[in-house]
């Protein structure tokens, strides 16, 4: 699970998804921006016209580009006009170090220039020959290759478009040269990621990983692109579920051998998990994905909290029979698959649950005194001194982000809370917290430390005991469990 999180949160991964999407579509990302005021000199012709450009005298019409001499025509109407990327224009959010992105941009610019100026194939051929002396791995040798744009099937969804590459395509590419096991199980990851910092565009990729082949990088099954998250889980997941149903029934034949494919689990963060299951969100009163506990609203913290632990666990059968009331929000296509709707969705989201969840709530509660009767509010000088200490700390080499003071806690990243919890907390909190509060915190620290490293696997039972002791301790000191998630 940790490796998934690392991959998902890395900039490299985000760039890879962007890059793949543009590469697959073979278009420039700027083409996503529709032109508000059509500009005659900035029209980008449809792909199918590009192969017949050599001798066709192209001319502009009021409706956009038109090719004559019985060539294929494509007239661009108002709704299909896209802005041509200017050669000198900067992209909205490019990464200069990303060579593939830059190569795609070069190809796009060359293609647009050739089409706009009606460059003959013979001339383009000479130009490519010259450029290929230095750019042999980037540009094609043949002008027809440069001017041909692959067509891809994009499905229109409510607020965006969806491209489906398919599970079968991904698996065939990886397994065709392997001699590994013929029974494989897939880990599936679904989550959203922003495309640019300056716009609302976002991708929702569906990724798969083969559990039996950990060395194989995650593969992209489909990508949704839109201005916001997919609004309808049924539409969004239908292509994927339809293909998986078929694969479940028939299996996949690779090199003449049948491969049995199953789903091992869905790895998602809390909001995405609730979305694809069609359930209430994690902060709703009926939001726990694993048990039937009911939350209560706290007028102290203005959040839902879950005072009762040890409630009966949810089961696949009851979930499918919709016995959990407001826990169910809508039907998900995943119900059509032979999976366990409870156990196959592990809750392993330490970023939202622990770093930005418990640790943030604890620090804010101690700093601002939000723990009611426990009266833990730090005096101003304690908070200031702790901030100073955090700023002066020299962190180990593996920590890349320095901590900021408590005055900036609203802007702390998840990694800062994580660093605080794992490396700093037990030292700096000891002289500040009341002894019983510190002891309570230690049980949290120890159990999370045990669960965070494979080196402590044999201590899992101890971690379990610590959480139980912590709960009894909480009740004993009448601690208002307002913030316990
Ligand atoms: Zn629960």
pLDDT digits (tens, 9 = 90+) for 439-466: 888 988 998 888 888 888 888 888 888 8
pLDDT value, residue 372: 64
Q: Is 71 exposed, middle or buried (0-12, 13-18, 19+ CB in 10 A)?
A: middle
Cβ neighbour number for residue 219 with a 10 Å cutoff: 19
Q: What mean pLDDT comes out for the span 467-480?
A: 56
Q: What mean pLDDT comes out for the span 145-160?
A: 80
User: Cα of 413 to ligand 1 centre, how many Å?
Assistant: 26
User: Cα of 321 to ligand 1 centre, how many Å?
Assistant: 19
User: Cα of 44 to ligand 1 centre, how many Å?
Assistant: 54
Predicted confidence (pLDDT) per residue in 15-52, tens digit: 666 666 655 555 444 444 333 333 333 333 334 333 33
* CA 207 from centroid of its chain's CA atoms: 9
Question: Within a domain: residue 233?
Answer: no
User: Cα of 287 to ligand 1 centre, how many Å?
Assistant: 8
Count Cα atoms within 13 angstroms, Cβ side, for 158.
10
User: Cα of 291 to ligand 1 centre, how many Å?
Assistant: 4
pLDDT, the chain, mean: 77
CA gap 209, 216 in Å, rounded: 7
User: Cα of 485 to ligand 1 centre, how many Å?
Assistant: 9
Q: Give the range of the structural domain holding residue 479, as residue numbers without chain letter.
A: 350-483
Answer with the one of 119, 147, 175 that is the final residue of a domain.
147
What would you report as the CA-atom Rg of the chain, rounded to the nearest whole angstrom?
A: 28
Among candidate residues 48, 71, 51, the one with its CA nearest the CA of residue 59: 71
Question: Within a domain: residue 10?
Answer: no
pLDDT value, residue 258: 87
CA gap 331, 66 in Å, rounded: 47
**Is the pLDDT reported for residue 367 higher than 50?**
yes
CA gap 451, 1 in Å, rounded: 12
* Contacts of residue 266, Cβ cutoff 8 Å, sequence gap at least 6: 187, 188, 189, 190, 273, 276, 334, 344, 345
Lowest mean pLDDT across 82-96, 111-125, 419-433? 82-96
> Residue 208: pLDDT band by 50, 70, 90 thresholds?
very high
User: Cα of 29 to ligand 1 centre, how many Å?
Assistant: 43
Element (H, E) at 336: none
Answer with the one of 147, 168, 197 that is the final residue of a domain.
147
Beta partners for residue 64, in sequence order? 61
Answer with the one of 109, 127, 147 that is the final residue of a domain.
147
pLDDT value, residue 75: 37
User: Cα of 312 to ligand 1 centre, how many Å?
Assistant: 9
Among candidate residues 420, 299, 288, the one with its CA nearest the CA of residue 347: 288
CA gap 171, 219 in Å, rounded: 9
Sign for the pseudo-dihedral over CA of 351, 353, 357, 362:
negative
> Residue 279: pLDDT band by 50, 70, 90 thresholds?
very high
Which pTM does this prediction carry? 0.61
pLDDT value, residue 485: 37
pLDDT value, residue 13: 64
Question: Within a domain: residue 329?
Answer: no
User: Cα of 271 to ligand 1 centre, how many Å?
Assistant: 16
- Higher confidence at residue 48 or residue 228? 228
Cβ neighbour number for residue 475 with a 10 Å cutoff: 10
Question: Within a domain: residue 379?
Answer: yes
Question: Within a domain: residue 132?
Answer: yes
Question: Within a domain: residue 191?
Answer: no
Among candidate residues 293, 294, 270, the one with its CA nearest the CA of residue 281: 270
Three-state DSSP at 443 gives helix
pLDDT value, residue 373: 62
User: Cα of 389 to ligand 1 centre, how many Å?
Assistant: 37
User: Cα of 469 to ligand 1 centre, how many Å?
Assistant: 18
What percentage of residues in the chain have a pLDDT greater than 70?
Answer: 73
Question: Within a domain: residue 385?
Answer: yes
**Is the pLDDT reported for residue 302 higher than 80?**
no
pLDDT value, residue 473: 57
User: Cα of 317 to ligand 1 centre, how many Å?
Assistant: 17
* Contacts of residue 242, Cβ cutoff 8 Å, sequence gap at least 6: none
- Higher confidence at residue 63 or residue 456? 456
pLDDT value, residue 418: 93
CA gap 42, 84 in Å, rounded: 5
Sign for the pseudo-dihedral over CA of 368, 373, 374, 379:
positive
**Is the pLDDT reported for residue 398 higher than 50?**
yes
Q: Are 252 and 259 in contact (CB under 8 A)?
A: yes
CA gap 268, 395 in Å, rounded: 30
Among candidate residues 319, 231, 26, the one with its CA nearest the CA of residue 146: 26
Phi, psi at 219, each rounded to 5° = -115, 150
User: Cα of 274 to ligand 1 centre, how many Å?
Assistant: 14
pLDDT value, residue 136: 65
Question: Within a domain: residue 364?
Answer: yes
Q: Are 165 and 221 in contact (CB under 8 A)?
A: yes
What percentage of residues in the chain have a pLDDT greater than 90?
Answer: 32
- What is the number of structural domains in the chain? 2
Distances (CA, A) of 368 to 209, 220, 365, 420: 43, 45, 5, 18
């Amino acid at each position: 699970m940790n490796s998934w999180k690392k991959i998902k949160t890395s900039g490299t991964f985000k760039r890879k998804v962007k890059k793949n999407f543009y590469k697959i579509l073979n278009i420039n990302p700027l083409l996503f921006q529709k032109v508000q005021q059509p500009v005659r000199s900035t029209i980008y012709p449809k792909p199918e016209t590009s192969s017949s450009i050599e001798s066709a005298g192209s001319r502009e019409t009021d409706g956009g580009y038109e090719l004559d001499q019985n060539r294929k025509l494509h007239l661009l109407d108002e709704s299909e006009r896209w802005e041509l990327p200017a050669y000198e224009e900067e992209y909205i959010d490019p990464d200069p170090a990303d060579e593939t992105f830059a190569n795609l941009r070069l190809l796009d610019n060359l293609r647009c220039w050739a089409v706009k100026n009606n460059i003959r194939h013979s001339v383009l051929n000479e130009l490519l020959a010259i450029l290929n002396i230095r750019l042999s791995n980037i540009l094609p040798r043949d002008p027809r290759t440069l001017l041909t744009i692959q067509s891809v099937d994009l499905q229109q969804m409510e607020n965006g478009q969806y491209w489906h590459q398919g599970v079968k395509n991904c698996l065939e590419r990886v397994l065709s040269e392997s001699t590994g096991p013929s029974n494989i199980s897939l880990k599936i990851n679904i989550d959203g990621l922003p495309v640019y910092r300056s716009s609302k565009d976002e991708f929702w990729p569906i990724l798969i990983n083969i559990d039996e082949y950990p060395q194989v990088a995650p593969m992209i099954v489909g990508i949704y692109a839109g201005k916001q998250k997919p609004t309808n889980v049924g539409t969004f997941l239908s292509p994927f579920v339809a293909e998986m149903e078929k694969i479940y029934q028939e299996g996949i034949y690779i090199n003449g051998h049948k491969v049995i494919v199953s789903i091992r689990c869905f790895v998602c963060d809390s909001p995405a998990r609730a979305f694809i299951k069609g359930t209430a969100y994690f902060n709703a009163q009926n939001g726990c994905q694993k048990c039937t506990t009911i939350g209560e609203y706290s007028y102290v913290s203005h959040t839902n909290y879950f005072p009762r632990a040890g409630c009966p666990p949810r089961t696949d059968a009851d979930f499918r029979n919709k016995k959990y009331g407001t826990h169910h929000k809508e039907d998900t296509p995943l119900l059509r698959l032979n999976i366990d709707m409870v156990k196959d969705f592990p809750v392993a989201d330490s970023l939202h649950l622990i770093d930005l969840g418990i640790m943030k709530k604890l620090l804010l509660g101690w700093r601002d005194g939000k723990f009611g009767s426990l009266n833990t509010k730090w005096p101003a000088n304690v908070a200031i001194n702790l901030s100073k200490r955090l700023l002066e700390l020299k962190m180990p080499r593996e920590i890349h982000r320095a901590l900021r003071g408590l005055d900036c806690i609203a802007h702390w990243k998840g990694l800062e809370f994580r660093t605080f919890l794992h490396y700093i907390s037990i030292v700096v909190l000891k002289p500040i917290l009341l002894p019983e509060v510190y002891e309570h915190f230690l049980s949290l620290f120890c159990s999370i430390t045990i669960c965070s490293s494979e080196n402590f696997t044999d201590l899992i039972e101890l971690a379990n005991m610590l959480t139980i002791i912590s709960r009894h301790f909480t009740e004993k000191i009448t601690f208002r469990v307002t913030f316990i998630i």
